[in-house]
Amino acid sequence: MAALDTNILVRLLVADDAEQLVRVRTLIQDAIEREEPLFVPVSVFLELEWVLRSVYRLGKTDIVATLSAVLSTAELVVESEAGLEWALHQYENTPADFSDCLHVALAEAAGHRPLWTFDRKAARVDGAQLLGG
């Protein structure tokens, strides 16, 4: 199973380069025709959120909607999908950054709780705990 890098998903989602978009769509169509899903590592989601927020200036609501759409794409197999869904829900409903929500989700999925932090916003995510006062 082939995997996708962040820049491939960015081209698909923001359609900011017509030539590369055609190549991405062809890649996906070929995978569909071969009935071979494409793998997306969890680290790609972390970087994708950063790119959408920092480079394309999307707000939280649009980021949540975009990442949710990627998660529900049948042609993709997403690493730690349940953890990503949980992290996205926490990101949507707490002041914490997506990365902090994902750290907590992955730690918990590995059976390690709490995630100790000095970040007050991150500590508001279920499964994280503020170290000190």
Over residues 35-46, mean pLDDT: 96
pLDDT (0 to 100) of residue 132: 86
State the DSSP H helix or E strand holding residue 27, giving kind and residue range, or none if neither.
helix 18-34
Q: What's this model's pTM, rounded to 2 decimal places?
A: 0.90
* 122 has a pLDDT exceeding 70: yes
Helix axes 6-14, 42-50, angle to 10 degrees: 50
107: CB partners within 8 A, 6+ apart = 113, 115, 127
Bridge partners (DSSP) of residue 32 are none
Over residues 6-34, mean pLDDT: 95
pLDDT (0 to 100) of residue 1: 84
* 133 has a pLDDT exceeding 70: no
95: CB partners within 8 A, 6+ apart = 121, 124
* 2 has a pLDDT exceeding 90: yes
